[in-house]
Structures are given as structure tokens and as C-alpha cells.
Structure 1
Amino acid sequence: MCGFLQEWSIPPRGPAVGAGMVAASHPAVGLAGARVLERGGNAADAALAMAAMCWPALPGQCGVGGDAFALLRRPDGEVVSYGGSGFGPDGGLPCFYRERGLAALPLEGPLAVAVPGAVAALAALHAAAATRDLEELWAPAVEAAERGLPCTARTSADIAEHQGALARDPGTAAVFLPGGRPPRAGRPIIQPELAATLRRLAADPAGFYTGEPAERAVAALSSAGAPFSGEEWAACGQALTGPSIDGRYGGFTVHQTPLPTPGWMVLQQAALCDGVLARLPWLGAQAIGWAAGAAATAFADRLASCGSDGDGWRELLTPASLAARRAALSTGRPPVVARSPVPGGGDTTSVVAVDASGMAVSLIHSLAFTFGARITVPGTGVVLNNRLGRGAYLLDGHPNEVAPRRRPLHTLNAWMVTDAAGRLRHVGNTPGGDGQVQWNAQLLSHVLDHGADPVEAVSAPRFTLFPGSDADTLGRPCELRCESRLGDRVLARLGELGFDVRVTGPWGAGGSALVVTADHASGVLFGAADPRQDGVALGV
């Protein structure tokens, strides 16, 4: 974990050169963003540089072949969302999968892949707000891929865990299993094909969807049995751009990413907890029980009615709907998610950047599961996601049922908080599959209900309702997974309240939360990165 204080003020006529803060889950990633700010770039420039550096630094957690979502706060206070999430194959009708004897979409291989959206999202963010060319911003990532970055202990363990699948694909085997075995921590992972692809995409990101990279991807997937036409690939070259979705909490405005992300689930939990958790002892049994009930409510509502488009989620945030759900929570019997069509697991990383103009970016990107579908586009070094298998249902008539030109539901989301005057107060995010919407809600409570600083917020004991909405745990009873640091008394009381408590290690909940707070009274930025991973917060 790294906590960092940085003197900060918004000058009357634009940003000061080299003023701001970044946070990331890998030191090389954070350093890439800090250097951009130090040289006069803005928060969007820093976030784009960090996002690219994540690809060689954290290859199991994100990649060119994955998805990305970002919130951008402009200096004038407008908050905009940039979404990069793709369709499954045009030939991927439900009958296509059922005719092959499948009861759910595969989690690995070509049938699990959706068109990657990350490049489109980053290109849109760049066009909207950056001041530096992508070639300049991505040059450090290109160099890192060419020369290799030291393998982290986490990546070495990820490769060992998935060695069998990675060995079956020539592209992943060549990079991640040199000599037929996982690299030891500290040994460089060299990715020359990825470096060449990054150099090409920095000059022409649209080519990923209509040029030779797209042709290579469609040809490889089609020959392996996935019914891509190529037209759905071209259709995903435009990012999902629009305003954030907003809610209220503790007198502040919470900004979140819209569909296909579950940002509305964080807003729903915040609305259900607003005014309740602030009155209860911080991380006491009663507060945890209420927050877990709010999470259960959100999961049940998602399973019942939500897909990647439409406005059904809006009704769930109306005063009448929230009042009814608060009344149900007050009985102490939150809804149970009876069946769960979304698979568990997932691997993701994220970055945060704030500059002296008040511009801020919260960006999160992923391959879905660790190393995604565990296949590559030949000759490119691009590992493909398994977002279609991870996110789409094979349930007749469900709004999230797999269908051509329908994006699968996501777990990724990002948030910001502004005050009544529209000033930036907090920006953050965390990876963690279905833990994300729960842990982000917990982070909001920590900073808004209890005045926690970023270090306190990201390192606070964490709890997780399981299984959320996970298909591979169908029929499993609901558990409340709690870090042991919550203490024996709280854990025992949660059991008395009716929760099936499962205790993890003191730091065993997962996630890698990042938070940067702007303290306008003192003129200081304060940031921190989660001690559960290798993150840093750096100010310049």
C-alpha cells in the first residue's frame, strides 16, 4: 500500500505543470502516469499512459483484447463516461450454443469471446480530453513490452494456475511459458508481438476494428468455430460515450458508469444505505448486515430484470422502489439470489488520475477471467477476453440472454464524488468481479459516512456477499465472507443475525482499491492504493 499527500490547488487559468496525483495497482503503471503529469500532461494523458502500461505489467488482468470503462471529470465539472464493451458473434444465436449441447456459454476458448472494446474506449477518451499523441503516451508501454517487465509474484502464480490452458495456445505458450514452465517472479516477460501491435494501434486505433488486426482476429476465431462475420467487429469501433449516471449519498453526488456496467447497483446500494450507516458504529455487525442486505437486493434485482440496454434499472432507483426495498431490509431478511447465471471469478485492474485543473479520470479494464479466453490473435500478442462467456446468459427470454448485437452484462464500474458546489472530492474504483459493486459501496460509506482518508478506506476490513450472481455456484447457500480483522465479536454477532459467516485471512477478501481525495480546505490531494496488491499512489 502507498499513501501519498500532495499539495494541490486549482489555479485560475489552467493547470500548473506537473501538479496532480495518480494511483495504480503496479509501481511501473503508477510511475508511467506520474511522469506524464510531471511533464505537463493532464489527467487524461496520465490515465491513457497508465492503461497502456498495464498491458505488459499485468497481462493476466487486462489487455488490448479486453474491455475498458472510464469516467472523466472535466475542469468545468461535467462528468462523462467512456465505455468499451463489444458484441458477441453475429451468428451467436441461443440456438447456436444449444445445438452444441451447451447449457451455458463456455468460459474458455473462441466461443467465450466478445469483440474487445478497450481500444475504442481509450481512443474516445484520448480524442475528448488528451493533450499528447497516443504514440507519445504509449511509447513507455511499447518499450516495456519489447524489453520485458519483471514478472510479479501474482502474475507468476496466475500463469501457474492456468498453465494447462495457456500451453494449448501457441501465442500464450510462447510468452507466458518460456521453456514450458511459468516464469519465476522477477524474470522479465518479453512480448515483442504485443509491442509491435501497440505501436501500430497508437498510430491508428481504429484499425483494430476495421484493419488487418480485425481481419486476423475474425479469421482466427471463425476458423476455431466462433461464428463471427467481421461486421460486428467493425460495429464496436465506436465507444459508448455519454453522461455518467448519478445518485446522492450523504449530501454528495456519486457519479457512476452506465450500462452495460453495474454502476446502477452501486447507486442503489448507496441509496439504501444513505442515512443508515452513518448512524451505526463503523464496521459493526448491524452496519455490515444492512450493507450486505443492500448488496443482496441489488443482485436479486439484476438477476430478475436487467440486461445491457434498456431503462429497467431506472425504476429501481425511484423513491417508491427504494422505499419498498428499505422496508424489506428493515425486517432483517434480505432477498436471496436463488439462481445465478453469471460465472464467478474474474480479473481486472484499474487506475486513477487527478490534475491541478480539477480534471480526473477513473479507469478500469479487464479480460474478464484471468488471461480471458486464454487464446491469442496469431501474430499480434493480443490475448482475447472471455467476456461473452463471463457475462451473457443462456436463459430463454432474459434481457441478458446471449444475442447478436447485444453486449453482455459487465462487472466493471468506476466512480467519482462531487460536492454541492460541483467540486471533485473523491475518485476511486476497485477490481474484483461481483465484489466490485459491494466494495465500491463500502468505500463510499468509509469516506462519506465516516470521514475516512484514502489509506483508511482502501485498507479497511472487507466483507463480501457470495455468490452474488455466479453461475458456477448454483444452488449454493448464501455466505457472508469476512476478513478476520473485523474481530471475533462482530463476526459472532453477524452469525447471530442469521448470516452464514465464512472467515477469510486478515487481508483475504480480494480487490485492489484505489482512492484519491481532494481536500479543498487544506489544498491537498491524498491518495492510497490497496495493500492487497502491489499498488502505489504518487503525487507530483
Structure 2
Amino acid sequence: MTGVSADWPAPTRNPVLAGEHMAVSSHPAVSAVGHRVLAAGGTAIDATVAMAAMSWLALPGQCGVGGDAFAVVREPDGSVWTINGSGYGPDGGDLAFYRAQGRSAIPLTGALAVAAPGAVAAIAALHARGATRGLPELWAPAIAAAERGLPCTRKTRADILEHEAQLGADDGARRTFLRDGRAPQVGERLPQPELADSLRLLAADPRALYTGELAERAVAALAVAGAPFSGDEWAASGIPLQGEAIVGRYGDLVVHTTPLPTPGWMVLQQAAVCDGMLSGLPSLSADAVGWLAGAAREAFRDRWDRCGTDTDAWRALLRPEAVADVRAKLAAGGHPLATAGLTPDGDTTTTVAVDGDGRAVSFIHSLAFTFGARITIPGTGIMLNNRLGRGAYLVEGHPNQVRPRRRPLHTCLAWLVTDTGGALRHVGNTPGGDGQVQWNMQVLSHLIDHGLDPQAAVSAPRFTVFPGSDADVVGAPDELICESRLGERAVAELRAAGHPVRVVGPWDAGGSALVVSVDGRLGCLAGGADPRQDGVALGG
């Protein structure tokens, strides 16, 4: 379903938010720029736009100008809307094109992996709809950071080391991320002068990425490398989709999330299956984990079997009779196995901003895998995504078969929660591939079923159904990956119940969840940032 049902009360304001604001991200420099914008009187949209650009410098493996972005926005009057900034694959990229090359899957790196970027278009649309400051002003801190360089974090150094050979093979990536052929040390500055110039150009005219000289340079370079872009699909990707959120109930609250091509519907399906089933179970007990894992497995199986990025087949899965069927299966001890694959990783990053008027933005952007396709648009410092390779299948007749002018399957989504009158209760998100739809549901349960505060909710032991649906690992063996903090007793009981458990380190499940909640009792905002990365929540 779309929008809010007519039998729910009209949207209302949040009186507890008067004067309160908060910015949360997975990097201190990103949270700081968002907080400064909010403290100076900017809106949550202003803060999000500023944080997005700073993220490109602070978390270069996770996001960039050449990636995609999505947002869900709650306005002060209680209305909710979304932005979809994901691009198309090449016009010449049909099944026959890849089969003629003898391929069974689209490559995950290089030109053939690339879909046209949608992040800049999404940010420009977000800015046009609710910003109070110009794009050059909001991006000025990021441009300055690109010129002088931000200190390299432990995460960025690890990302560069992991992909050093491929980054070194691309002239632009080598100049940006390697120093005399080596990965930078932690604390060493990473100036990106070419990207600074690109950001100045795009701040003046975001459409420059989609039409004109910059777009022509990108399409020409990709065509030379063998990707069948025409340029028309590139230009069309500069027009993001805007519309209502898709919604579902969880208890007496309303979950708003992003529509296709995101997997927001999978969170709603899991919420429907779990609604009323977890509040009576001890938090993170084997029974609770088993139920959540079963709901996630069912969602992945349904996506593989039935749900493309441009169909409404998912809606039938939220009907009461379909939800009842899943519940009956799980209650009988069934553990449906997914049929595709998941690598739980943090190849994405997110931000959350709430302003004093009650406006809230959950924003997520990504290059798909770390550093995307690991190639740049020559001379621009812009890394390109590998979303086509990650999210389109060379499986004839599959709901997500590769096809021209089709947005690839996405792992990214954003969400927020209101009461039935539209008052804000929670807003959050997490990166992490196909872990996102599971970890977001886990956080929602912690917040709503068990009353955890935001920091406790994002820090709680995490578990992950493997596999999900990334195209590179279709058919991987089924597992339930659990952080060791879940405890030996719960792990033993899960194994006894038939779950194929694999235990990882206490904080090693992946992701970087962020949440801001309205504390109605204290009349303030409370925020939480995942300790699995370098997140910071700043409010005032």
C-alpha cells in the first residue's frame, strides 16, 4: 500500500521537537558539518545535502558522486515523501549483449559493471524541494576538505589495502588513493583536487553530470572500455523519482520506507510477519532470533522468486493471508532457505538529520561494492558504481533480468516511524548490502518491542541471514551469521532448532546503524551511532 490509510488521523506536528536538532552519521566530520548547518538554522534537508558531500570525502569507498542515493523525508506537517536517485544500465546492455561475450554474469568491476549514477540527481531534487541555503554554500566544506584532504581513517586504509591492485590500475583512482604506489597511513591526508573541481562544477549545475561535457566524457570513456552506453540513458538518469513512501503497521506505529527499486517492501514484509510475535519473547533469545531470521529468509526467497525492480508483485506478499502463511510456516519450525547470495559488508553509508521543526531525513548513498567498479571518469576524481554488476542477472525470464532502461536491483533503503497521527517517533538506517533489510528490522524490534534507547538498539548483538540476493554469490550455502555477544546459550539453542549458525567476532557482523528517536517522556531527541564504525550523534 502507498500513503496513509484514510482511517488514520490526520498528520500532526511534534511539539516535543521545538528547538531540538540532531545529525548522525558514520564519520565525525560528516556529523559535524550536519550539526553546524542545523545549529545555524538550516533545515534537516540542508544538513543532509551538506553531509552527503562530506561523506564523499570521509568515506570514499562507501559512497561518491558516481553512485546512487535514496531518502525518506518527514515534513513538519507530518507528510512523508521519498527520493529515488538510481540510474539505468546501458541502453545496449540486453541479455543478448552479455551472452554474445560468453558471460554467465555481469562483471563486478570495470566499465561493464557500471550503471548511470543517480546520487547527484537525488541530492539536487532534495535540495530543490526543501533547502534554505544554496548548493555552493552547503558543499563548501566538502570542497575545502577535498582540496586539503581529510585524514585517512583506519576503515579507509583497510578498504584501500583490500582493493589496492584494482585502484592502482585506474589512473584517477591511483592518483587519489595511493601514495607512491602504497596505501596511505592512518592520519595521512588524502587531498582530491580533481574531485574538488568536479564538486564546484556540480554545485553550480548538478545537471552537468548528466548532460554536457562531463556526461560526454563519462559515456565516451565507458564506451571505449566496452560498455554499450548511448548517452540517452545517462541523461535520463538525471531525473530522479519522487513520490510517497510505502507504509506498513508495526504495533500501533507506522513504518514509512522507500519504494522500488529499493527493498523497503522487504522490511514491511518482515514487520508484518513479526508484528505482535516478538514483544512477549526475551530480547535476542533463540526464539526471537529464530523468528526474525525466518522472516528474513522468507523475504529473500520471495524477492528471488517473484519481485523485480519495476513490478508490484511485492504487494501481494503483504496481504493478511500471505503473512498468515509465513507465520504458520515459521510456527511449525520451518526454516525457508534463500536462493541467492549475500556478502554482508558496509559498502554504503547513511545519514540521519532532524531539525527543530520536526523535519526528518533518512538518507542513504552507495557505490554498491567498496569503491564501486574501481574506475573513475577520467580527470574528474569521480569513482563510478558497480550497481549493474551487483543487481542485474543474466538469467532469462528472471524478475531482475538485465534489460535496457531498467534500474538494477538495490540493497539500499531508508525508513522512519511515526504514530498514526504522523508524529515522528524514530528515523534511521544502516549500510551493509543485503544485511540492511535484516538489521533495520532488528533495530525496529529493539526500539518498538523492547523499548531500547537508540544507542542500545544500534549496539545490540547482530545476526545475519546468508544468503541474500547479490548476483555474484547466487546459490551460496545457507547460514545464520551471529556475533559472539549473542551468547553461547542462544547459539546452542538456535543450532538445536536447525539453524546453520556461524559465529563471528563480537562486533563483526557488519553495518553501521544510525537512529534518532523522539523521547516523549523527556521532550528531547535521542540519537545512536553504531560502534562498528566511527559514527557520531550530535544534537543541540
| Range class of TM-score, shorter chain | over 0.9
- Within-5 A mapping of 1:292-441: 292-340=293-341, 345=345, 347-441=347-441
- Post-superposition offset of 1:329: 1.3
C-alpha distance in 2, partners of 1:197/1:187? 23
Percent identity of the aligned residues?
65
**Structure 2 match to 1:23:** 24
Write the letter of the residue equivalent to 2:63.
C
Greater shift in the superposed pair: 419-428 or 287-296: 419-428
CA contact (8 A) 1:11 1:356 kept: no
**Structure 1 match to 2:166:** 165
- Within-5 A mapping of 1:116-265: 116-265=117-266
C-alpha distance in 2, partners of 1:250/1:11? 23
CA contact (8 A) 2:308 2:399 kept: yes
**Structure 2 match to 1:4:** none
- Post-superposition offset of 1:343: 7.1
C-alpha distance in 1, partners of 2:518/2:454? 10
CA contact (8 A) 1:434 1:468 kept: yes
Q: SS where residue 337 of structure 2 aligns?
A: coil
Q: 1:131 to 1:390 in 2, by over 3 A?
A: same
CA contact (8 A) 2:344 2:510 kept: no
Q: 1:425 to 1:279 in 2, by over 3 A?
A: same
CA contact (8 A) 1:463 1:483 kept: yes
Residues matched between the structures, number: 528
**Structure 1 match to 2:466:** 466
Q: 1:239 to 1:182 in 2, by over 3 A?
A: same
- Post-superposition offset of 1:346: 5.8
C-alpha distance in 2, partners of 1:460/1:144? 33
Write the letter of the residue equivalent to 1:230.
G
Write the letter of the residue equivalent to 2:389.
G
CA contact (8 A) 1:344 1:472 kept: no
- Post-superposition offset of 1:477: 2.4
**Structure 2 match to 1:487:** 487
C-alpha distance in 1, partners of 2:471/2:95? 17
**Structure 2 match to 1:442:** 442
Q: CA offsets per residue over residues 417-446 of structure 1, 9 Å max, x none? A: 001221000000000001000000000000
C-alpha distance in 1, partners of 2:469/2:197? 39
Write the letter of the residue equivalent to 1:99.
A
**Structure 1 match to 2:514:** 514
- Post-superposition offset of 1:520: 2.5
**Structure 1 match to 2:90:** 89
C-alpha distance in 2, partners of 1:202/1:473? 38
CA contact (8 A) 2:392 2:471 kept: no
Q: SS where residue 425 of structure 2 aligns?
A: strand
**Structure 1 match to 2:63:** 62
C-alpha distance in 1, partners of 2:393/2:455? 38
**Structure 1 match to 2:503:** 503
Write the letter of the residue equivalent to 1:484.
S
- Post-superposition offset of 1:213: 1.3
CA contact (8 A) 1:343 1:390 kept: no
Greater shift in the superposed pair: 473-482 or 95-104: 473-482
Q: SS where residue 180 of structure 2 aligns?
A: helix
Q: SS where residue 206 of structure 1 aligns?
A: helix
Q: CA offsets per residue over residues 338-362 of structure 1, 9 Å max, x none? A: 345x777560000000011110000
C-alpha distance in 2, partners of 1:434/1:383? 22
Write the letter of the residue equivalent to 1:464.
T
C-alpha distance in 2, partners of 1:388/1:317? 28
Q: SS where residue 278 of structure 1 aligns?
A: coil
- Post-superposition offset of 1:399: 2.0
Q: SS where residue 465 of structure 1 aligns?
A: strand
- RMSD over aligned CA atoms reads 1.4
C-alpha distance in 1, partners of 2:459/2:485? 11
Write the letter of the residue equivalent to 2:205.
D
C-alpha distance in 2, partners of 1:281/1:451? 12
Q: CA offsets per residue over residues 142-177 of structure 1, 9 Å max, x none? A: 000011000001100110110110011000001101
Q: SS where residue 206 of structure 2 aligns?
A: coil
- Post-superposition offset of 1:521: 3.1
Q: CA offsets per residue over residues 101-137 of structure 1, 9 Å max, x none? A: 1100000000000000000110111111111111110
**Structure 2 match to 1:477:** 477
C-alpha distance in 1, partners of 2:219/2:51? 28
TM-score, normalisation: structure 2: 0.96
- Post-superposition offset of 1:192: 0.3
C-alpha distance in 1, partners of 2:418/2:402? 37
Q: SS where residue 302 of structure 1 aligns?
A: helix
- Post-superposition offset of 1:511: 0.4
Gaps of 5+ in 2: 1-12
- Post-superposition offset of 1:327: 1.1
- Stretches (4+) displaced over 4 A: 9-12, 342-346
CA contact (8 A) 1:343 1:471 kept: no
CA contact (8 A) 1:425 1:518 kept: yes
CA contact (8 A) 1:61 1:370 kept: yes
**Structure 2 match to 1:451:** 451
C-alpha distance in 2, partners of 1:204/1:227? 26
Q: SS where residue 324 of structure 1 aligns?
A: helix
Write the letter of the residue equivalent to 1:174.
R
C-alpha distance in 2, partners of 1:495/1:55? 41
CA contact (8 A) 1:343 1:391 kept: no
C-alpha distance in 1, partners of 2:101/2:511? 36
CA contact (8 A) 1:463 1:481 kept: yes
CA contact (8 A) 1:343 1:472 kept: no
- Post-superposition offset of 1:334: 2.5
C-alpha distance in 1, partners of 2:261/2:358? 27
Write the letter of the residue equivalent to 2:437.
V
- Post-superposition offset of 1:315: 0.8
Q: 1:473 to 1:215 in 2, by over 3 A?
A: closer
Greater shift in the superposed pair: 519-528 or 272-281: 519-528
CA contact (8 A) 2:252 2:419 kept: yes
C-alpha distance in 1, partners of 2:329/2:461? 26
- Post-superposition offset of 1:469: 2.2
CA contact (8 A) 1:346 1:368 kept: no
Write the letter of the residue equivalent to 2:467.
P
CA contact (8 A) 1:307 1:408 kept: no
Write the letter of the residue equivalent to 2:366.
S
C-alpha distance in 2, partners of 1:368/1:95? 24
C-alpha distance in 1, partners of 2:305/2:218? 35
CA contact (8 A) 1:455 1:528 kept: yes
C-alpha distance in 1, partners of 2:339/2:367? 27
C-alpha distance in 2, partners of 1:88/1:343? 22
